[in-house]
Structure 1
Amino acid sequence: MNQKVKNLYVTRIENFFNRLNEKVLGDSVLFNAEFCHSTEPVPFSKRLNGRYRKIKEGANWGGIWDSAWFHLTADVPKSWKGKEVVAQIDLNGEALIFTKDGTPVQSLTKGSVFQGDYCKDIHYLFKSCKGGEKVDLWVEGAANGLFGVERPDDPNLKDPYRHGKYSGIVNKIRLRVFDRDTYAFRLDVEVLKSLAKHLPENNVRRARIIRTLNEAIDAFVDNPANSAKCRRILKKELDKKATSSDLSTVAVGHAHIDTGWLWPVREGVRKCGRTFASQVTLLKKYPSYVFGASQAQHYAFTKEYYPKLYAQIKDLVKKGRWECQGGMWVEADCNIISGESMVRQILHGKNLFMDEFGIDVRNCWIPDVFGYSAAMPQILKKSGVDFFLTQKLSWCQFNEFPHHTFIWRGVDGSEVLTHFPPEDTYNAGLHAGGLAHGRDKFKENAYLDEFMTLFGIGDGGGGPKEEYIERGLRNADLEGVPRVKFGTAEEFFDRLAKHADRLPTWVGELYFELHRGTLTTQALTKKGNRFLEQKLRNTEFICSCMPLSKYPSKDLDFMWKKLLLNQFHDILPGSSIRKVYETTQKEHAECLEKCDGIIQDAGKVLFDKNEDYVAMSNCLSCNYRGVVELPKGLDCGLLDEDGNEVLVQKEGKKTVALVDIPAQGFKVFEKSGSAPEGETASGGLVLENELIRYEFEKDGTISRIFDRECEREVLEKGAKGNLLTLYKDRPHNFDAWDIDIYYEKSIIGTAKPVKVEKIPGGFVRNGIRFTSEIGDSEIVQEVFLAFDSRRIDFKTAVDWKERHKMLRVSFPVDIRSETANYDIQYSYMHRNTHRNTTWDLAKFEVVGHRYADLSENEYGVAILNNCKYGHKILDNVIDLNLLRSPTNPDPEADLGVHEFTYSLLPHKGHLTDSDVMAEAAMLNMGVTVFNNCGRPKFQVPCTIESEGISMEVLKKAEKENCLVIRLVETKGHTSKGILKVNIPKAKLVETNLMEWTDGRAMSCAKPVEITMRPFEIRTYKIKT
């Protein structure tokens, strides 16, 4: 046949298929409708409290983010007897149908960006009606789409609709006759059409499918009554079985629900209700179908807001029809969160699944997260998580990841079995062509017989429609398509584990070559997250020093879960709308304030009240020797426990002291006289002490750093440090998410001097205040050098007024190394400082937590920070990303005042021989000051003495009346330490990160010697 003639018949199939949808629905009857409008969601139990008004098709019922309850009633016409009847409801947004007793049963939605035909406007009522039935429905409407509201791409700040607009409109509210045969015929056509489209041009199977489809079209003659006959024509092609050599896929019903993203978290709650209600209905209808859902937070939402639905889910879990997945509280960001946050994500997630369902979830399920830390495998394994799933690396910008199934090895050598579904999506539709595409792409198809398919609409929730399951049934054993079997991820992974010895190994981080801007965007949220992570650690430490009966478990549990929720992978990375961050920042502030209150209350228990003394607490595993800003009103001198005078000075309205607080300990100081006033130093723009000298220019840049002790120039010859540079920042796609490498050539300018002032100083520290302008923004930096430290702190305030620009600071140093080290969760990792390969090039922006270090064997330089994450070390230039200003999806992202600190630390030796880790910890944690507190009443219950082992956690156990400690080897080599337990008759019992297991009990009567492997994490219970 001539190719143009072939194309004509193929086009005919496509056009026929598109028209066929109109034939599925027949006669209609309008509902009688009334509605009650509200600006915020109203629960079912309170739906009758408002005023109801009648409404008809075509009418507007609400604006952006509004809600409404609709009451729909109608009688089925007697003339429809024997016909299938459905409700067609389209409110131009999202909706959820409830039964009269308040049980949610079916979600409705306008559509999806992933699949154009993903409109859910049909609710099945009667398979064969008698005629005359009364229909009475309650529907909760939301004036937003599956993907939020209509937003401009790059709005003007004066645009009143810059945050979007939306109209809730009653498009359809009708009873309809539903033609089941035509519906099934359309599905048959769709399956064969999809398969034919995938097959090669001259393939025999393709030619016969096209011929048979055209025969069915001939027979239809635009009459739905012929649908059954047409199905019989297609049956001969649908009955052809898959070959014995073809692969299989385990199809897992899936609905990736973003807790918050293009909608506020309150809408994420309702997305859980809508999605889960629809899936419960489908599970009842299709006995072979299996659905899975991750994120313990979503189950907690459902339990609180939809208890009747939750009861049904619990029953389905018991029957093996509903799979609990993921083991984390939310599908969290895995770049920015701390090591302990990662542990608590799994601890609280797995505890909910165990407590509520009796299930130990053994997989980590995060298909849409923007990169995966090399620290994860150990944390997963020690949490009882053996398997890992994502598909996000299929998006990588420059390099194709070489495996779909492999062993992932982390920094400490721990390994987890990993699978990337080869269809490269978590929104598969179970289309024949998509399944065949996944089979052909599957990189391990030479020796593995099956892969996984995640099908259903996600991000905005929803999950599979009925059509998805029907496609799966038709593709169960079809020639040209991998065999489809509905099943669970756990069963798939257990089978896959039997082939683990045949799988390749990937060592180190799973770096995502995209969305690099999420290390910086929405800086206030990242700052709140870092501060709350540190504050919770300190609060637990201090409260653990009190009697356990006084430990505030409920408060801490609540705050941890708030922190974990806001670590969701579209919230913490900065890719959500303004409404999300208004809530997140408020919750961070409330939790920080609550922690401060708990700490001060604990001080009243821990110390004798004495107005002549000040107590200080240090929860770090290193001595805190550094500057402390004293509380307001405390402007006196201090004497240590031996009567020695502590260095104290006033700096305007604040008072600072240079203290030395023991590791994991308390120290009490006596108040003594008045603090001396700081004096303004004479001379040029220089900060120096016996160790080091910094020379500045008027614009705040450093022209020279000379290490006096090591007799070494630190900066590259002729270069300037602390160079604040503004770049044009217009990524190719994904404004809030991405930074593209070409920004490096798009320099707008550097900071220009406005004003320079010497800060009154003294024996504690000296400082200079630089005020400068860059773009339309103002920067004020207070730069401090303590009298006995090489570390110089840049306490920075930026009034940020830019759009599509990026602020970075750089330090070109006289250090040569092919690798740099970056702080990550409970460890550090090496990355190359060159761009020899595209894999190196792709890492032009990488994550680092509290420090990044560039060292030779005998000397190095580190940059420290208290709330930043985006780093670049290329050749000898250390570069930190400070601020961005994207406009989509939040047109006001990061506008306003930002306060943060970064520090430069030249040091002797390599990273592991230096004080970088201790200084970074001190910059981030600080000490806690208890005014008017004297002698401690209690000892710190447990301490560790070690150069390479840190006690990162001291807290009460989750489910036992005992303490828990978490030790981490920090240096990357085997380390020894002495653990002292100051509790009579205590036993030390090793457990896993979940605190679910008990090892052999060891006596703590004497100090216990601990030996730990590189980056090893250990958890112990202290039992009495």
Structure 2
Amino acid sequence: MLVQETINKLKSLTELDIQNHWYFLDEKLLPPPLAIDNNWQKAIANEKKYLVWEKGNKIRWFAQKITIPDHLNNYPLDNLSLRIGLTWWAESAEIYINDKLVCEGDLFDSSSRVLITNNSQPNEEFIISLKLVSPNHDIGGLMSSRCLYESEYNTIDPSFVANELTVLSQYIDNFYPEDKIKLENAIQLINWNNVNNQNSFNQSLIELRNKLLPLSAYIKNRNFYLLGHAHLDMAWLWTMDETYTVAQRTFNSALNLQKDSLSLTFGHTTAYLYQWIENHNKPLFAQIQAKVKNNTWEILGGMWVEAEVNLISGESLIRQVLYGQKYFQEKFAKYNRVAWLPDSFGFPAQLPQILSLGEIDYFVTGKLHWNDTNKFPHGCFWWQSPDGSRIFTAMSPPNVAGVMNTNPVVMSDYSVDWEKQTGLQDIFWLPGVGDHGGGPTRDMLDVVKRYDDSPFFPQVNFAKAENYLDKIKDKSKGNIPIWNEDIYLELHRGCYTTHGDQKYFNRYCEKLLFQAELFSTIINVLNHNYQMCVKQVNEIQFKIDDLWQKVLLNQFHDILPGTSITPVFTEANQLWQEVIEEGELILQDCLKAIAFNIDNTEKELPKGAKRVIIFNSLNWKRSEIVEIDVDGKQYQAKDCQGNILETQISEENKLLVFVNNIYGVGYTQLILTPAQEIDKLKPLKLETEFILQNEFIKAKIDPKTGNLISIYDYNIGKEIINGQGNELQLFQDNGQYWDAWNIDPNYEKYPLNNPKLIEIQWLENGKLRQTIKIVKKYNKSTFTQKYILNCNSPIIYVENSIDWREEYTLLKVNFPLNFTSPKAYYETPCAVMEYPTTPKTALQKAKWEICAHHWVDLSNDKYGVSLLNNCKYGHDFKPNQIRLSLLRSPKWPDPTSDMMIHNFTYAIYPHQDSWQDAKTVHKGYELNVPLQVIVLEENEHNADILPSAQEFLNLGSNNLILTALKQSYDDHNQIIIRCYEAENKPANFLLKNTLNLRVHKKVNILENALNDIDCKSIKPCEIATYVIISESEENV
């Protein structure tokens, strides 16, 4: 008899499929039945053997009577334990035995082995009933149901031996095929003639096992390392309030299991959640602290939450690690060594550098098992950032159903795949129920203990992740592959676009807190240097820390991507608004405090005059048009040197002034004096030609479509656009199970009609700014766009206000170009990556939607075009085309997703040479971090402490981007400055400043000193952090 045939036959003696014996009833208020009467209908399985019913939180009862037979296929069943193995897909599940509730579950706790009796007797009867509620978004299903008869855990039964044979066969087939004959010969010892005698038949199974014992060493050389785990989403199909309840239940469950299972080690992430437990359940928190100290509870992650890491800025990534690690150090006396992101949707290339700078040694994710096209090629590897930083990275076991049980066959299947991929015989496993919490169950622990005692299953030990990773890194020396790009998830590409409001709020708040922190720190230094009368400067950083932590919470991987239910976004938006209101108040207070102390260039201002202070938060000079709210009144503008500046009244009755060379991380001052008359733009008639033009470009808008039909570059004397530019394209985008997460990979096969132009008009046509407004309609949606061309710039801005009311629709904007580029360049957190516009490999082809931050660029040796944006992320490319994803409209899990007015801006930036030469990085930041304008009336002036214009600090290299100026986390008397190299070339950090500060030391992102002798040299793509102190302070 063949091995697989023997395995199947053994299982048939103690396992029985009962899927075809269910009856159903659709009743809401039904007590668990004690009998099945004529009201119940026979349940009919579909082609997959599933019992399904309609979606929409519909209740379905299933019931059947189980009568224990004398035998199964002649094998006696008396004195065995009987369990029912169930798997369902239901919003909630209740399992009853003889009208008593014995088990509950949900979408994620979706399978169970329910004990019916531990001493089966022939003819004993049980009524098994299930109350299942279908998900709101999907049909409900009872996928499988089996009776499982098992012996005591220190004895054997046919199914147990069948599993042992399965595991042994897997290892022999894959690693020791020459021993296959030994296994085949040994199974002949089974005495099938005695199957009707339980003791005699079991004795033949014992003889079989004894015969196979010489093969045991093959398996016992392998080791499973188990860590109890409960991946817990902070919010998803539930709000955070429910998460807090589930977390407490999960943690208490783990602690209770540890009382009986002393070896059980449990691990969990998320500093924010531990902080909540600390504040609301101190006894539970104290127990966790004790378990951490005893090394049976592992604090994982090293981050504030399990964040969405593709969409957030490099500084946000740093703050996730900073606040997470500092909390863990304060409360558990150790930094975390393992970054743990099991469910985030892809990972940017600079993450290894950021984690390494956060004193994290390892990175673990299992999400790559979800890839829809290619199997990720490595199980463990060195992941290398563009600067050369590396982190040892391992894939955790696959868990696509929310439950990772201890089924021995499933575990050995994975172990074989792991060993074939990595060559390692040490395997990691994470028993537990996840997503909605739960953790390991007693049955999981009992099952794995039973198989650990078997000679035909790998050894099993509980271990912390860091200890397991130490072991496999040691064993892998010299054989570890290197991965030196982003880790792209070949799925969930729609997360770059869904719920555009969350993307907008996140980007806005990131930039707002950068500016608020920057100027609050400057105020603190100025207050120290000049004893300026600024109140509560020391408290500002504490407030900013609180605001940062609110932003970090909203960056959780099911909030920022837009993949939660409606109430989650109601709560998230409240947090965003708190950050915006309080952050803007801090920023404005700081700017005003500085402005009040700036020297007046004209000691006596004319009546009605105003002083205008223009602040630049970025670390390079900017020359831009400034908008000043003057209530429609007319003013003459002068700069600090008394030069009269060109002005224009905008269509919104604001004063436009072009200001040249505004200091980086500094300010300049204008004086506005009342003027008799300034030419005010009068809108041109509709039939006029719609051409935007300055000294750099000439852009023509098609009066029939509202699209760009020409951008002529005067510098090179060439046309840039090839066809209709700024074309809004709509595609049908449905049929995906993971609706909010996934763009239909075949969306281009289902184009919809483009929006139709219904209005076009001039709004502004002055010397400083030209603006043309267009309005388009499609179905129920309205698209209002403003084309804006400023003087002294080749950039065409497109301001959008879109009232979006579509369903299952993808909106992109297309720019076909009149040249080709072999590569696309795109900004990611603290780095620039490249992508072939004609992909050749399977991995490249799977990247058909790419996540980029401020900009993307197509360039050849001589020319290029950058597409900038202020809150959009999804892009796709061809050699002569850039497209930006603007909006989607999925219906699950949030049926209201994106049904709102969206305001955002993107811009087309034609340039000569490369993106580096064109300073595209700078242009992207300038769009996202606008100049700040403070208008002072005649009497708003404290003292002439500060000059009329100044640069507070300069980094010394124009390829360094300032990302933070802040007070130190541990010592608010010290200042932290952080920057990164943005153009893939070396730089020198040479701090120049007017704040009486000097560089003290180079530190990591936890603000701990680095042993860096040449601390001023910065490698390409390096993130550098320094402590700077007052010139008067002595070296420490």
TM range (shorter): 0.7 to 0.9
How far off its partner does 1:525 sit?
0.7
SS at match of 2:618: coil
Structure 1 residue aligned with 2:305: 330
Structure 2 residue aligned with 1:10: 11
SS at match of 1:564: helix
Alpha carbons of 1:275 and 1:941: their partners in 2 closer, same or farther (altered >3 Å)? farther
2:805 corresponds to which of 794, 801, 808: 801
2:537 corresponds to which of 550, 553, 571: 550
Amino acid at match of 2:964: V
Amino acid at match of 2:409: G
Amino acid at match of 1:690: E
How far off its partner does 1:863 sit?
0.6
Amino acid at match of 2:699: Y
Structure 1 residue aligned with 2:585: 597
Count of matched residue pairs: 892
Structure 2 residue aligned with 1:22: none
- Is the Cα–Cα contact under 8 Å of residues 804 and 885 in structure 1 kept in the other structure? yes
Structure 2 residue aligned with 1:663: 664
Distance 1:966 1:731 in 2: 45
Q: How does 1:68-87 map to 2 (within 5 A)?
A: none
Alpha carbons of 1:747 and 1:17: their partners in 2 closer, same or farther (altered >3 Å)? closer
Structure 2 residue aligned with 1:532: 509
Distance 2:922 2:848 in 1: 27
Structure 1 residue aligned with 2:617: 619
Structure 2 residue aligned with 1:496: 472
Distance 2:962 2:240 in 1: 35
- Is the Cα–Cα contact under 8 Å of residues 114 and 427 in structure 1 kept in the other structure? yes
Amino acid at match of 1:410: S
How far off its partner does 1:1000 sit?
7.6
Distance 1:349 1:206 in 2: 55
SS at match of 2:746: helix
1:926 corresponds to which of 904, 907, 930: 930
SS at match of 1:1018: strand
Structure 1 residue aligned with 2:137: 152
Distance 1:5 1:414 in 2: 52
- Is the Cα–Cα contact under 8 Å of residues 665 and 952 in structure 2 kept in the other structure? no
Alpha carbons of 1:478 and 1:893: their partners in 2 closer, same or farther (altered >3 Å)? same
Q: Are residue 573 (structure 1) and residue 573 (structure 2) matched? A: no
Distance 2:197 2:546 in 1: 64
Amino acid at match of 1:284: K
Structure 2 residue aligned with 1:628: 626
Structure 2 residue aligned with 1:382: 357
Distance 2:224 2:286 in 1: 31
Alpha carbons of 1:118 and 1:387: their partners in 2 closer, same or farther (altered >3 Å)? farther
Distance 2:611 2:568 in 1: 44
Q: 1:696-733 deviations in whole A, cap 9, x for unaligned?
A: 112221111100122111112xx110010110002443
Amino acid at match of 1:293: H
Structure 1 residue aligned with 2:994: 982
- Is the Cα–Cα contact under 8 Å of residues 8 and 162 in structure 2 kept in the other structure? no
Structure 1 gaps of 5+ residues are 20-29, 31-62, 65-90, 96-106, 123-143, 155-163, 165-179, 1003-1008
Q: 1:482-529 deviations in whole A, cap 9, x for unaligned?
A: 322110111112222323332111111111111100000011011111
Q: Are residue 250 (structure 1) and residue 225 (structure 2) matched? A: yes
Structure 2 residue aligned with 1:1013: 1019
Distance 2:583 2:920 in 1: 28
Distance 1:290 1:769 in 2: 63
How far off its partner does 1:118 sit?
6.9
Q: Are residue 412 (structure 1) and residue 424 (structure 2) matched? A: no
Structure 2 residue aligned with 1:678: 681
Distance 2:684 2:807 in 1: 39
Distance 2:359 2:194 in 1: 54
2:702 corresponds to which of 697, 704, 721: 697
Structure 2 residue aligned with 1:81: none
Amino acid at match of 2:984: G
Q: How does 1:831-846 map to 2 (within 5 A)?
A: 831-846=835-850
Q: Are residue 962 (structure 1) and residue 982 (structure 2) matched? A: no
How far off its partner does 1:241 sit?
4.7
Amino acid at match of 1:694: A
Alpha carbons of 1:762 and 1:436: their partners in 2 closer, same or farther (altered >3 Å)? same
How far off its partner does 1:260 sit?
0.6
Distance 1:607 1:623 in 2: 19
Amino acid at match of 2:890: P
Structure 2 gaps of 5+ residues are 21-30, 32-55, 58-89, 95-101, 118-130, 141-148, 174-179, 526-535, 601-608
Amino acid at match of 2:674: G
Structure 2 residue aligned with 1:262: 237
Structure 2 residue aligned with 1:27: none
| Between 547-556 and 737-746, the greater mean CA deviation after superposition | 547-556
Q: How does 1:754-769 map to 2 (within 5 A)?
A: 754-769=758-773
- Is the Cα–Cα contact under 8 Å of residues 404 and 422 in structure 1 kept in the other structure? no
- Is the Cα–Cα contact under 8 Å of residues 666 and 953 in structure 2 kept in the other structure? no
Distance 2:220 2:964 in 1: 53
Structure 2 residue aligned with 1:512: 489
How far off its partner does 1:334 sit?
1.5
Amino acid at match of 1:543: S
- Is the Cα–Cα contact under 8 Å of residues 422 and 439 in structure 1 kept in the other structure? no
Distance 1:620 1:343 in 2: 19
Structure 2 residue aligned with 1:643: 642
Q: 1:260-313 deviations in whole A, cap 9, x for unaligned?
A: 111112212222111111001111221111111111112112112222111100
Distance 1:315 1:213 in 2: 54
Alpha carbons of 1:203 and 1:16: their partners in 2 closer, same or farther (altered >3 Å)? farther
- Is the Cα–Cα contact under 8 Å of residues 545 and 940 in structure 1 kept in the other structure? no
Alpha carbons of 1:191 and 1:608: their partners in 2 closer, same or farther (altered >3 Å)? farther
- Is the Cα–Cα contact under 8 Å of residues 651 and 761 in structure 1 kept in the other structure? no
Amino acid at match of 1:318: K
Structure 1 residue aligned with 2:461: 485
- Is the Cα–Cα contact under 8 Å of residues 623 and 659 in structure 2 kept in the other structure? yes
- What TM-score comes out, normalization by structure 2 length? 0.79
SS at match of 1:911: coil
- Is the Cα–Cα contact under 8 Å of residues 110 and 119 in structure 1 kept in the other structure? no
- Is the Cα–Cα contact under 8 Å of residues 436 and 480 in structure 1 kept in the other structure? no
Distance 1:252 1:348 in 2: 25
SS at match of 1:530: helix
How far off its partner does 1:381 sit?
1.2
CA RMSD of aligned residues (A): 3.9
- What TM-score comes out, normalization by structure 1 length? 0.80
Amino acid at match of 1:962: Q
2:890 corresponds to which of 877, 886, 889: 886
Distance 1:830 1:890 in 2: 34
Structure 1 residue aligned with 2:742: 738
Structure 2 residue aligned with 1:1022: 1028
Alpha carbons of 1:790 and 1:411: their partners in 2 closer, same or farther (altered >3 Å)? same
Q: 1:611-649 deviations in whole A, cap 9, x for unaligned?
A: 831212111122232233334748553322112233332
- Is the Cα–Cα contact under 8 Å of residues 495 and 563 in structure 2 kept in the other structure? yes
Alpha carbons of 1:206 and 1:506: their partners in 2 closer, same or farther (altered >3 Å)? farther
Alpha carbons of 1:639 and 1:253: their partners in 2 closer, same or farther (altered >3 Å)? same
How far off its partner does 1:210 sit?
12
Amino acid at match of 2:554: N
Structure 1 residue aligned with 2:794: 790
Distance 1:273 1:906 in 2: 55
- Is the Cα–Cα contact under 8 Å of residues 981 and 1022 in structure 2 kept in the other structure? yes
How far off its partner does 1:966 sit?
0.2
